[in-house]
Amino acid sequence: MDDSAFAERLETLCRTRLGSAGPLNGLKRLSGGASMQSWRFSWGDEPLILRRMPEGLRGDDAAIDSGALDLDGQADVIESAVAHGVMAPAVRARLTVEDGLGEGFIMACAPGEALPQVLLRDPAYAEALAALPKQCAEQLAAIHAIPPAHLPQALVCRSPAQMLADLEARWRDLGGVSPIYALAFGWLERALPEPVEPRLCHGDFRMGNLLITPEGLSAVLDWELAHLGDPVQDLAFGCIPSWRFGRYDKGLGGFAQPEDMLAPYEAMTGERVDRARFRFWLVYSCLWWGICCLIMADIWRRGDKAGPERLVIGRRVSEVEIDLLLMLSDELADVPAPMDWPATDFAAESGVPSGAALTDAVALWLDGKVAANAKGHARFEAKVAVNALGMAARDAAFGLDFRASQARRLDILGYDAPGLVAALRRDPANVTPAVHHHLRRTAVENSLIDQPRYAGLAVARSAWSQKPLTSAENL
């Protein structure tokens, strides 16, 4: 569907469902949204947001979790949440087959900024961020207090054991091979908490899904992962390292510490948050995100090839390897000596340019000439393409040597790759100091190709190699 036909159909829907003469103005695709499309527009004087399934995808194709709600189910949950005082944008209209726009709904456009890169750097939001831990506690307490009888029956309810089993089955179906992920699955199985009375969980409560103005929180967005479950999962989810956006030392979303939210939540609800249960859900959520990265790549392979974003996200599995090892290292056998940090300097060339050099050259050109001059979603897509080319260039330059090094270490340890995965899944005692060293080195090698500027790498380097970063490397 071309842009003009899309706008005409949306205008017809608004006139029929929302009333007034409009007009439709400012239709713009918002950046991000690897699973769903979001469009901002105005109908007359009312700012609105359209949440829509990308063309050519079914709801189950785009779902990153087996319990994810379709868009109609999301609208149901949002309406229930709004009715119980949660700060969510009101649903204004739902798409039907006759609208010719796919699956989705139109909701109110709340004021505020959602991009963490803006919120964490702009001084205008400093006071709002200082108040945000308490506001997060307030919203989560309100969400968790909604009586299940007032919620849609479509909500999935699974025990922690069922969730873990489903996650591991999906990982294996996707061809998961990381020994670090296998180690985490074993840790989680041994740390399983007892089930609790299920309550409504948002499922994706984190920076990026919160709209914030300089005055404070204005809305909670993106309800596709809402489900009935353990409320502590919601508290832990926004604390995983991937949702700290470069501020690794700030465990709550890159702006505060988890205790800054947990203490007021306990005071509001009168319920103590068990810290061991919180740790379980923190590790689970970190691992869950790593498997979602694999799912994104799988969605691309199954047909949604509109751009490279899903494949780029698919390479973020390595950041989770770093995070999981940092989380679990204290419970593993110590590595007696510092780790030599892998070298990642591009080799000097002469003669015929290598594939790595060609790919790097295209990335530099795309970043400097295309991304720099693009705006809105086009700029976002160009930046994603730059990242994809950077990964490809580093893989071409270092990947062969890194993979050969990993194979040599496995040979010395007496494992093949599947054998190490099975051993670590079965028993953490198989993580000898030599195996622990191999896991660290492998996670670092993978991440240096995929995301050399990932904040967790700097933390790992300080903890594992004891070699200080140069000022250039710390950028």
pLDDT digits (tens, 9 = 90+) for 58-77: 555 555 676 788 889 999 99
Q: What is the pLDDT of residue 43?
A: 95
- What gap in Å lies between CA 87 and CA 191, rounded to an integer? 34
DSSP state of 157: B
Please say if the pLDDT value at position 32 is more than 80: no
Angle at Cα 302 formed by Cα 296 and Cα 307, nearest 5°?
60
Please say if the pLDDT value at position 36 is more than 90: no
Span 443-458, average pLDDT: 96
- Give the sheet arrangement for strand 24-29, strand by strand: 24-29, 37-43, 46-52, 104-108, 91-94
Q: What is the pLDDT of residue 474?
A: 36
- What gap in Å lies between CA 346 and CA 21, rounded to an integer? 60
SS percent in the chain: helix, strand, coil, step 5: 55, 10, 35
What's the token pair of residue 329? Answer: 């290292």
Verify cis geometry, omega within 30 degrees of 0, for the bond prior to 353. Answer: no
Q: What is the pLDDT of residue 471?
A: 41
Sorted by where each starts, the structural domains of the chain and their CATH numbers stand as 1-109 (3.30.200.20), 332-465 (no CATH)
**Inter-residue contact 191 to 280 (CB < 8 Å):** yes
Please say if the pLDDT value at position 386 is more than 90: yes
| C-alpha distances out from residue 309 to 43, 385, 388, 393, 462, Å | 30, 8, 8, 17, 31
Please say if the pLDDT value at position 383 is more than 80: yes
Burial class of residue 210, CB neighbours in 10 A (0-12, 13-18, 19+): buried
Distance between start and end Cα atoms, the chain = 42
Q: What is the pLDDT of residue 223?
A: 94
Please say if the pLDDT value at position 473 is more than 50: no
Least confident of 18-22, 296-300, 414-418: 18-22
Q: What is the pLDDT of residues 86-128, one digit of tens each?
A: 999 999 999 998 888 888 999 999 999 999 999 999 999 999 9
Q: What is the pLDDT of residue 389?
A: 95
314 Cβ contact partners less than 8 Å away, ≥ 6 residues apart: 293, 294, 296, 297, 298, 300
| C-alpha distances out from residue 229 to 144, 226, 253, 267, 281, Å | 10, 9, 22, 21, 12
Backbone angles phi, psi at 5, to 5 degrees: -65, -40
**Inter-residue contact 141 to 266 (CB < 8 Å):** no
pLDDT band at 255 (very low <50, low <70, confident <90, very high): very high
Span 172-195, average pLDDT: 96
**Inter-residue contact 420 to 474 (CB < 8 Å):** no
Average pLDDT value over all residues in the chain? 91
Angle at Cα 395 formed by Cα 394 and Cα 396, nearest 5°?
90
Span 385-411, average pLDDT: 95
- What gap in Å lies between CA 114 and CA 95, rounded to an integer? 25
Please say if the pLDDT value at position 472 is more than 50: no
Span 342-346, average pLDDT: 90
Q: What is the pLDDT of residue 1?
A: 65
Q: What is the pLDDT of residue 58?
A: 54
What's the predicted TM-score (pTM) here?
Answer: 0.91
Q: What is the pLDDT of residue 19?
A: 79
Q: What is the pLDDT of residue 31?
A: 63
DSSP state of 465: I
